[in-house]
Structure formats: C-alpha cells, structure tokens
Amino acid sequence: MSTATPATPPESESPPRSRWWQLAALGILAVAGILALYWWYLTESTRRDWELAETEASLDLPRWRLLELEADRPNVPDDENSALLIIKLRQRAGGVHVSAAPNYEQIFENLPPTAQLNAQQQELLRERLELIGKEVEETYKLKDMPRGRFPITYADDGISTLLPHHQESRIIMDWLQNDAYLQAQMGDLDKAVAASEAMLVAGKAFETDLFLITFLIHVSFVNHAVLTLERTLAQGQPSERALLQMQKALEREFDNASFPLGLRGERAMMHHLFCNVRDGKVQSLQGMFGAGANDSFMRALQAFFADHFPTTLLKHYPEFLRSQNRLVELGKLPLWERQAKLEEWESEVTTSSNPLIRRLMPAVHKVSRADCRTQAMLRSAAVAVACERYRLAKKAWPDSLEELVKEKLLDAIPIDPFDGQPIRYRRTKDGIVVYSVGVDCKDDGGNIDRHRFMDPGVDIGFQLWNPNRRRQAPLPPVVVRAPE
C-alpha cells in the first residue's frame, strides 16, 4: 500500500517590497510637486503684485525710492548750509541747555507774555547763556541761511537709521528762545524779533528731510519761534523794518510741503527695507513685530515668524505699498480736507488683516494735526504782525482784516487750516486776537489756551496787547521747591 504525499498549498502572492516604496515615492513627489507649484504661484503672484504697486507709486513721483529721493534733494554749499552751522555750534558749546538749568521750570512756570522778567529769572538766563559764550551770538546768522541739509547714512533696514544731529539741533532753539527773553527784557526788541526769525529759518534745515520725525522737529522750531515772537511783542514795540522782515519769514512758511514729503519718505523707507528683505540683505526685523499683551496666540506666532523669518511677510508687502500710495495721495489734500480723511484711513488700518498695515503704518493723523496747528499759528502770527504794522502807521487797530489787504500790508487773508475759511480777527479790551477755530472747528471767539489747545472750546492763534497793556510788572521770585 503506497502512502500519498499531501499536496502543499500554493503560497499567496504579495507585491514585491520595492513596489510599496515606489508608491510612497510617487506620493511624496506628488505632494512636493503641489507644494512647489503653490510656491511658484505665490512667488509669481507676489512679484506681479509688487510690480503693479511699484508702478502705482511711480504715478505719484517717478523717482520715489529712497536713494532716488535722497539723490534728488537739493545740494547746499557748505558755507550756506544751516545744518552744518547748527552741528558746529552745538559741538563747540557742548550740551549746555538753558532750560535744563536746575529749577528752570519752576522759575519760569506760568510766565505771562506781558510780564517782565524778575531778577531771579534774569540771573538764571545770564548765567546759563554765559556758559554757552559767543556761540549764542552766532546762532543769529541762521536767519540769513534758509537752506540746510544734514548728513545722513541710511541703514539697510531704513528704520534704524540714526539721526543724532537732528535731535541735538533742538539746543539751538533753546538758546535763541532764552536769549530773546533776555534781549526783550533789556529793551532790544528788534534783536528779540531777530531771534524768533533765526529760530523760524533754522527750522528750514529739516525741510527736505525724508522722515516724519524730522518734520515734527521742524514744527517744534516754528511753534517756539511764534510763541517767542508773541512774548517779544508783549514787551514793547519793535521797528517797522524788523516787523516787515519777520512777517515775510512767516509767510514763506505757509503751505510748507514737508508733510507730503515726509509721507513719501516713510513709503520709500519701507520699500528700502522690504527690497532688502527680499534680496537677503536684511534677515531679521529685531523685535519690530513684538507681540502685544492682548494679542491672540496666532497673532503672537505671526509676530514671532515676522521678526525671525521676515521673508514670510513678502506676500503682504504689495498691499502694504498700495496702502502707502493711498496715504501719500491723502497727504496732498488741502489741510482742512486732509484731517478727516486721514482719521478714516487710520481706522481702516487698525482693523486690517494685513500684519504690515496693522503694525508698521505710522500714526499720521496726529502728525497732520500738528501740521494744521503749526500752520494756524504761523498764519495768525503773520496777520498779527501786519496788524501791528497797521497800528504803527495809523495809531489804531484795523477794524477788519480786509483793511490790511487794502493797505497792502497783506496780499490776502490766509486760510484757516482747520475749516478752510479766512483766519478770524477780534478786538478785545486789551488789544486784538488773530485766530483759527482750532481742533474742534468751532469759532470760540479767540479763546486761546496754550496748555489746552486740543480741548473743545479752545481756538489757536496769536494775541497782541494795546501799548499800555504791554511790559507789565514782573512776577515775584518763586520759592524753589525741594525735589521730592
């Protein structure tokens, strides 16, 4: 009997192991291809949008980029350059600020324009001005130097560009203002007016700079010049010649184009930054996007990547540039139309989903308001000086500003930068006030309050007193408070 060997069942066939690897590799390649295609699409669409936004900027100004704007600024010979004189005077005299003297603020606190300086105030001014020496006298040369240009070296990121000379120039304003106080006290009203004029003209050293911060320094020079002039005229009667020269200097500052130029400079600075991010010259934004305390986790994460991997922001830049282009266009509007439009624009900025727009746009409506306030003071001051010249010739104040135009003391009544109407004028029991309606755009009858000029019910302007109300008795010396 034979024994049959059982048949061995056939083994089931399975795909070779190499086939699984092939399928996995194909999947990886497919995903990589999709990602590469998406990256190409994102890069190409960003490039196209970037070029379109640049073309839009060129419609405003063909040479709008930072180094082009810098190259197109007017050259100033060294011997005519007020900025170089400011730097030289500051370096020679060191960092002596008159108003940094111990107890200065207490001693000069609430000094009315019409009050003479008391012995305490005079002594402080003389002591501090003597420390500065002959450089104080040289600052008066600035009134004949209406052109200036500070040396600037731009950083690759634009934003960290240093402006040490610009900030230090405020010391010149301090010297001139306090020397004007002393000159007016001694009875040299023409020299005190010249100090205001030198301050006003010195501000033009910042006129062609490309920064909003330097625009604000310029504004500070103008405001201090006007307030110093108001005090000078409250102390006595300068000559017709000095008044005419000062009025012309004030009128040259009307419709100053520094604010639109500052907006163009900010746009150019940002473009300089993001071009260098794109080209690999800037690889970190150094905390520029630091997360705020109230930011969500996603916003904080977005800020981290923005700071440490700025190329992730490039896709947002074209929209940011278009928004800046729009801002530049708003900056060209008349002063009295511009403010409301800028406030609308800023409300849109705060709600934007674009991180560049939300984080890097400057608070321009505040800068514009400072421009309006400065123009209000300038225009009021120029008209007030014309009124003073009228009073000298006619022995009486004008009944209306139209008389100044009729007598050719003004070419035209300047426009109020807040509401687009002619500057206002009112006679008072003590003299006159020339004024703008101010921030609230309401005529409050020339109610001037230097400390609350942003409040409702307050106008912005320039006061002149009747001759018998000028140069009043000094205030008593103050008892200096011990530091707390």
Question: Which residue blocks in 61-161 are alpha helix, DSSP H?
Answer: 66-72, 82-93, 104-108, 119-132, 135-138
List pLDDT tens digits, range 240-251. 999 999 999 999
Contact 183, 192 (CB under 8 A): yes
35 pLDDT above the threshold of 70: no
DSSP letter at 396 equals S
List pLDDT tens digits, range 43-63. 777 789 999 999 999 999 999
At 1 the pLDDT is 43
Q: 172 exposed, middle or buried (CB, 10 Å; 0-12, 13-18, 19+)?
A: buried
Phi, psi (degrees; rounded to nearest 5) at 436: -105, 155
In whole angstroms, give the CA distance from residue 261 to residue 212: 9
Whether the model clears a pTM of 0.95, i.e. scores above it, the answer is no
112 pLDDT above the threshold of 60: yes
At 297 the pLDDT is 59
Please report, rounded to a whole number, the percentage of residues in the chain having pLDDT higher than 90.
72
300 pLDDT above the threshold of 80: no
Q: Where are the domains of the chain?
A: 73-253+368-469
Q: What element of type H or E holds 427?
A: strand 424-427
At 296 the pLDDT is 59
Long-range residue pairs from 37-42, CB within 8 A, at least 24 positions apart, any chain: 42/315
User: Is the model more confident about 159 or about 85?
Assistant: 85
Total residues belonging to the chain: 484
Contact 125, 103 (CB under 8 A): no
List pLDDT tens digits, range 413-430. 999 999 999 999 999 999
At 305 the pLDDT is 59
424-427, strands of its sheet edge to edge: 424-427, 431-436, 460-465
List pLDDT tens digits, range 243-274. 999 999 999 999 888 999 999 999 999 999 99
